[in-house]
Amino acid sequence: MSRSQVSVGLRWLRILGTIALGCLLLGAFAIGGAMVQYPVRALFWHCTHEKYVNFGNVQLELPLLWWRGQDGERGAITLRHASIDGRLAFMPSELLLIPLKPETTIRDDEDAERIQSSWIKALNGKSRQTVVSVVITAPAGKIFCARDRTIPEFSGLYCFSSKTRWKMFFGPGSMREESEAEFILATLK
């Protein structure tokens, strides 16, 4: 092999190496950007909205890594959590507040507790579900929840209150995120 052929080969090797390194860096920036996207969004929301979210006659306090997402269909309110550990970087946990249908009545805490019990029975009736009762005390009154821990290390909440016209759902999320969702619900005014 001549010296000029070796020189051309080395030049191509450098070009391919530079392209490969560029692709690797671009991929790292894309993954890193996706992992910080939601925490940045949450911090921006708190800078522009402080820490309270208001809708109808309801007010909730949001911890730092939570923000109000886009409202859903039929008046549903979406509160999102930014995962900072990267586990759910592409799918933030959500706390949904869905208005009750006009024909649905929850007259008092006994009605809310009855609905909670029926949810627990229905969910536990499925294959090996582990759903338990949780009662959250808020300034607006008691909130009756069913906690679903079917998937290890993840949690879901299904909640009702006689004091509001909303049903509340949280999930999927870690147990830490669930405790933050419970904190949010406990601020219900």
Question: What average pLDDT does this structure show over 46-67?
Answer: 85
Residue 81 neighbours by CB distance under 10 Å: 27
Q: Where are the domains of the chain?
A: 6-186
What is the value of pTM for the model shown? 0.71
More confident residue, 125 or 178: 178
pLDDT score of 34 more than 70 = no
Tell me how far apart the alpha carbons of residues 79 and 67 are, in angstroms, rounded to a whole number: 6
Residue 88: which pLDDT band, with cuts at 50, 70 and 90? very low
What is the CATH code of the structural domain delimited by 6-186?
Answer: 3.40.1000
Mean pLDDT for the chain overall: 77
Cβ pair 100, 166 in contact under 8 A: yes
Residue 126: which pLDDT band, with cuts at 50, 70 and 90? low
User: Which residues in the chain belong to E strands, given as ranges?
Assistant: 52-55, 58-61, 66-68, 77-81, 93-99, 131-138, 141-148, 155-160, 166-173
The pLDDT of residue 40: 79
The rounded percent of the chain whose pLDDT value lies above 70 is 75
Tell me how far apart the alpha carbons of residues 182 and 137 are, in angstroms, rounded to a whole number: 10
